[in-house]
Structure 1
Amino acid sequence: MPQCQMSKEYALDIGHIDGRGIARPSAVIDFMQDLATRHAGEMGLSEKVMENNGFWVLSRLKYRLNRPLHSYETVRLTTWPRQIKGASWYRDFTFEAEDGVIGSAVTMWAIVNAETHRLLRPKALGISFEDQIVGEPEMLKAIHAEHLQPCFDRVVRYSDIDVNHHLNNVKAVDILSDAFGLEDDETRWVSQMQVNYLSETTCGTTLTLARGTGADDALCVAALDGERENVQAEVVFSEL
């Protein structure tokens, strides 16, 4: 494993699970985001970002799980910063439970100036480290959805907003998940999911959720503000 890493255990409680007693996709992403934030702080990176009037932005993520996470189960996440690619910061994860390693994930982050909203390159802020590449690392690409068809509208409200007064990353995944159709087919669960955060979404915005297809006929869901896709996901299901 890499030299610079951090691990933490997370217990799935009643607020993380769906009606079948397994973790919602948003719970998985909540754990990933929390651990990444904690590790960046421990590394002293968050302080450097704040000194330069910047803030972290999660731009893309992808996870794969071999099996669902169950209610009141404890899962151990480990994360490490993989490498800096231009303005993008890649961070990798593993998931472990009592039965061993059950999944992996990758996230891509950027640093944005709080006033201008321009990207800040990490190396320009004095942030650098040796690459920590394990196995065959995945690069997160754009999601190309075809034949998007509107499903329903959803207004972004108070409980959806983060400290930057934008749609919270985890809440965005809950909103996208409502378009997966899992309430009509409880035999499936989300074993793989990629999310791309494309544009900021503010309180009061009416999002149109739409479904389409992506690579290898995977399900694609997008949340649109007018004709602009603000956040999108590509999902692979497995049978329970």
Structure 2
Amino acid sequence: MEDQKQIVKIEEYCRTVRVASYEVGAQSTLKLSALLHMCQETSENHLAALGIGYQKMKEDGIVFLIITNAVKIHRMPANAEIVTIKTHPRGSNKAQFYRDFQIYAGEELLAGVMQSSVAANPLNHKILRPQEFYAYGIFVDERVAPEDRLTRIRAKGLEPLGERVVRYSDLDYNGHINNTIYGDIFEDFIPGGMMGRCLRAVQIDYINESMLGETLELFGGEEDGVVTLQGFNPRGLGFSARALVEDSPAE
């Protein structure tokens, strides 16, 4: 994905990119993992443009760990399509920071994402108080609106779907599965498969980090077009995902 241009403000960061062929899946549209990566990169670029990029913050003893991504999809972008990603800090609730993303093709809103994360110590991942990030004096400590707050997925009665071993290429710079990879895991193990189907809404909760060589035991189920999937690592529940799935529109 190659950036075409960017606009930097404290309250909004905007970048325009062209979708690369390697980000597109079997249905000729952007993969879920690539959409999540697009958002992750956009938020990192926003902080870097304001002088508090990943390396600076890590040296100061702060990293961000994503807790939840909640995605609403009208249409996934196609190969080589030019899209604009806008992101806005939305405040905090308790220890969690909120940030939204909007993906456009021209004036057409393609997808929206609400993301929550926490600031943590990079060595032991101990959760830090939001004030330690707000101490940079760049963002204002505001409370996210109650209607925008995300709640954790609850599930029971799911059936075994298989296992997924964590490989080296899954890892990010924090040493665990990159959050975007869970999009691939979800689409690989979704009951009924993804061929001929599309996602309209997806929520992924990142609960317990999975490390190199560990095995995720996957369980899932579908009811009335809503698919739920959970992965368990040796320490317990690693992640939960829930999605609204529909048949793909006819060409």
Sort the TM-score into its range (normalised by shorter chain): 0.7 to 0.9
| CA deviation after TM superposition for structure 1 residue 89, in Å | 0.6
2:31 is matched with which residue? Answer: 24
How many angstroms does 1:99 deviate by? 5.1
In structure 2, the CA distance between the partners of 1:130 and 1:202, relative to structure 1 (3 Å rule), is closer
Contact 1:10/1:31, CA 8 A, preserved across alignment? no
1:15-54 pair list within 5 angstroms:
15-46=22-53, 49-54=57-62
> TM-score, length-normalised on structure 1?
0.88
State the alpha-carbon separation in 1 of the partners of residues 200 and 18 from structure 2: 19
Does the C-alpha gap of structure 1 residues 144 and 9 become closer, same or farther in structure 2, counting only changes over 3 Å? same
How far 1:146 moved relative to its partner? 2.1
What amino acid does structure 1 have at the position aligned with 2:206?
Answer: Y
**Other structure's SS at 2:113 match:** strand
Q: Aligned to 2:42, what secondary structure does the other structure show?
A: helix
Inter-CA distance 72–19: structure 2 relative to 1 (3 Å threshold):
same
Does the 8 Å CA contact 2:204/2:240 hold for their aligned counterparts? Answer: yes
Residue segments in structure 1 that go unaligned for 5+ positions in a row: none
Unaligned runs of 5+ in 2: 1-8
Secondary structure of 2:175's aligned partner: coil
Number of equivalent positions: 236
> Distance between the aligned counterparts of 2:196 and 2:39, measured in 1?
26
Does the aligned pair in 1 maintain the 2:58–2:122 contact within 8 Å? Answer: no
Q: CA RMSD in A?
A: 2.5
Instruction: Give SS of 1:195's match.
Output: strand
Amino acid of the structure 2 residue aligned with 1:142? R
Specify the alignment match of 2:140 in structure 1: 129
Distance 1:121 1:204 in 2: 32
Give how far 1:130 is off.
Answer: 5.5
Moved over 6 A (4+): none
How far, CA to CA, are the matches of 1:15 and 1:132 in structure 2?
38
Provide the residue aligned with 2:5 in structure 1: none
Q: C-alpha displacement at 1:224, in angstroms?
A: 1.1
* d(CA) in 1 for partners of 2:10, 2:166: 41
1:139-178: CA deviation from partner (whole Å, max 9, x where unpaired)? 1110011211111111111111112221111122211221
Could you report, residue by residue, the CA deviation over 1:68-112 in whole angstroms, capped at 9, with x for unpaired residues?
321221221100101022211100111110352222111001111
CA distance in 2, matches of 1:213, 1:182: 9
- Code of the aligned partner of 2:176: H
Q: 1:176 touches 1:223 (CA, 8 Å); kept in 2?
A: no
2:219 aligns with one of 210, 215, 221: 210
Using the size of structure 2 for normalisation, the TM-score is 0.84
- Secondary structure at the counterpart of residue 142 of structure 1: coil
| Secondary structure of 1:176's aligned partner | helix
